[in-house]
Amino acid sequence: MQQSNAYIITFSVILTVVLGLLLSGTSQILGPIQKKAVELDTKKQILGAVLDAETISKMSSEEVLEYYGKRISSKVVDINGQEIEKDSDGNPIVAENVDIGKNYKKSPENREYPLFIFHEEGDEDSVESFIIPVYGSGLWDNIWGYVALQTDVITIKGVTFGHAAETPGLGARITAGNVQARYDGKKIFDDAGELVSVAMQKGEGKDYSGDPHKVDGLSGATITANGVNDMLKNYLSHYKEYLKTKKSTGNSEVASIN
Amino acid sequence: MSTETAQTTEVKQPAEALLSKRRKKFITDPLVDNNPITIQVLGICSALAVTTQMQPTLVMAISVIFVMVMANLTISLLRNTIPSRVRIIVQLAVVATLVTLVNEILKAFAFDMYKELSVFIGLIITNCIVMGRLEAFALGNKPYDSILDGFGSALGYSWIILAVAFFRELLGSGSVFGVPVYETVSGIFGEEFSLATNGLMVSPVGAFIILGLIIWVQRTKTGYVEH
């Protein structure tokens, strides 16, 4: 059967409007729930840098949020390590709400750098580690993560990585616990105090336990690994000024840890 | 798109049983004899991609069942009003809307699954099985029959990807639904029974091999030959 053009156009318009209303209605209704899910996921990732994945997966959503509230405090710094409390419009900044991906598009000097501090329950001054968000590009799309540094701000306590679209089984392995565990105990500054970061090497299966700045690579995912390396190096250097201030004030603590 | 074409001659039969013999065939046919993956060889892309573990595969299977049933129903209800010249676009719009709905619902209620599957959920839109059934069946049949047909085809797709995922997760990661099997085995029978996982099974190549074996076994049994 052959319909007139008017019929076809009318049908298409009605269909488009109905489907469009359906979709926008759904996103209106589900929007707040999705926002909560994203927030929970972000907090889980931040905690993932200091806790192992098993501990987190055993916690219910409420427990995660409660634990986060008790143990994590946050602030936002600029590239010079100065704490900033208000954004350019004069509104107060909350570190958890800073969109790191959006900031990534600005030039490094203009970005807001959120920082999360893992501390003992009820005492914000007894810092256990500093958690730094990192962001960069993998092979297909963006990658991100959180790096937890010990109080000496030299040694990595733990890392967690996430990705948008890395290849499953290859680049996507940066989210695997055994890959992230390779970073534990590595050092981001060398003995002379220069930032060298930690780099994944090409190839997989070698033992880098003797080298504080190298970790075993991902076979078949060199570009993703390079993306991770760049991401770490860039963001650690952006936070360098802030970390330096912590290094000088925290010396006594370092001595006691060593 | 599909090797099968719609061919139901509607005979005036008042009150046909809800699951009459003819209707049962809509569901049972795609399970083995006319399976979308193993016989029609459609939907291979997602069958390879999502099947490294059972759990995401199950979510994918449920999503495909939902999308196919709803799409078949919608298109069947509209079948007499859809202008034939733009019917493919209409089908695409309906499928894309349903897939977006699934995506939004997963994002709200199963965020971890959403992170893992979102790329593949989007790919349901291009899954030839969905469009194939809409074009070959839903456009020419009544809503209830279309629901059964969509459900059957989606079920045929689901059990194959779940079977592939079972072997891939078991052999590749030594677990089923995240429950460690290999560790338990070596725990019960001692260290000499510790089994090594096969890394090949985690990569898409593993899915090709498993899928090939399933198709081989099935075609040997049914005697199906491609012409």
pLDDT 10s digits, A11-43? 999 999 999 999 999 999 999 998 888 888 888
Through-space distance between the first and last CA atoms of chain B, rounded to whole angstroms = 16
> Which of B46, B86, B88 is best to mutate for the A interface (most A CBs within 10 A)?
B86
Please report the pLDDT score of residue B10 as a whole number: 52
In a domain, A36, yes or no: no
**Number of domains observed in the structure of chain A:** 1
In a domain, A51, yes or no: yes
| Beta sheet of A113-120, edge-to-edge order | A72-77, A113-120, A123-137, A142-150, A156-163
Amino acid at A165: A
pLDDT in tens, A35-61: 888 888 888 888 888 887 778 778 888
Sign of CA dihedral A238, A240, A241, A245: positive
- Do A11 and B83 make contact, defined as CB atoms within 8 angstroms? yes
Q: Taking residues B53-58, report their average pLDDT.
A: 85
Please report the pLDDT score of residue A257 as a whole number: 42
Q: Answer yes or no: is pLDDT of A101 > 90.
A: no
Q: Answer yes or no: is pLDDT of B112 > 70.
A: yes
- Length of chain B equals 227
Q: Answer yes or no: is pLDDT of B8 > 60.
A: no
Q: Answer yes or no: is pLDDT of A93 > 90.
A: no
Helix axes B111-123, B87-109, angle to 10 degrees: 170
In a domain, A6, yes or no: no
Which is more confident, A229 or A83? A229
Lowest mean pLDDT among A95-104, A188-197, A229-238, B110-119: B110-119
Q: Name the H helices within chain A.
A: 5-48, 53-58, 61-71, 100-104, 177-180, 222-238, 240-249, 251-257
Please report the pLDDT score of residue A249 as a whole number: 54
Name the residue among B85, B111, B204 with its Cβ closest to that of A41.
Answer: B111
Name the residue among A19, A33, A41 with its Cβ closest to that of B93.
Answer: A19
Amino acid at A217: G
Name the residue among A1, A11, A19 with its Cβ closest to that of B97.
Answer: A19
A93/B93 Cα distance (integer angstroms): 41
Q: Answer yes or no: is pLDDT of B7 > 60.
A: no
Q: Per the structure block, which two tokens stand in for A124?
A: 């914000």
SS3 breakdown of chain B: % helix, strand, coil, rounded to 5?
70, 0, 30
In a domain, A241, yes or no: yes
Q: Per the structure block, which two tokens stand in for A28?
A: 């209106």
In a domain, A18, yes or no: no
pLDDT in tens, A237-249: 888 888 888 776 5
In a domain, A34, yes or no: no
Amino acid at A81: G
Q: Which residues contact B139 (CB under 8 A, 6 or more apart)?
A: B6, B75, B76, B79, B82, B87
Q: Do the beta carbons of residue A140 and residue A164 sit within 8 Å?
A: yes
In a domain, A27, yes or no: no
Instruction: Name the one residue in this structure whose structure tokens are 């993703």.
Output: A224
Domain containing residue A220: 44-253
Q: How close, in Å, is residue A209 to chain B by CA atoms?
A: 24
Pick the most confident of A152-156, A217-221, B57-61, B91-95: B91-95
B90/B71 Cα distance (integer angstroms): 11
- Do B81 and A11 make contact, defined as CB atoms within 8 angstroms? yes
Please report the pLDDT score of residue B227 as a whole number: 67
Percent of chain A exceeding pLDDT 70 equals: 94
Q: Which residues contact B39 (CB under 8 A, 6 or more apart)?
A: B3, B33, B224
Question: Cα A44–A47–A50 angle (5° rounding)?
Answer: 150
In a domain, A258, yes or no: no
Q: Taking residues B164-193, report their average pLDDT.
A: 81
